[in-house]
Amino acid sequence: MELPKTASKMAQFTERNGQCYDLPGTAQCGVFMANKADGCEAQLFRGYKCEGFTNVAVFQDELRPVGGFFKSMAIKCGVPPIEVAPLSLGGLGAAKMQKPVPKDGGKRRAARAGGGRDSR
Q: Which residue has the higher pLDDT, 8 or 103?
A: 103
Asked whether 28 and 55 are in contact (CB, 8 A), the reply is no
Query: At residue 55, does pLDDT exceed 60?
Result: yes
Beta strands 53-58; 64-76: pairing state: unpaired
Query: At residue 15, does pLDDT exceed 90?
Result: no
The widest CA-to-CA distance across the chain, in whole angstroms, is 95
Domain ranges in the chain?
7-76
Whole-structure pTM value = 0.54
Beta strands 53-58; 41-45: pairing state: antiparallel
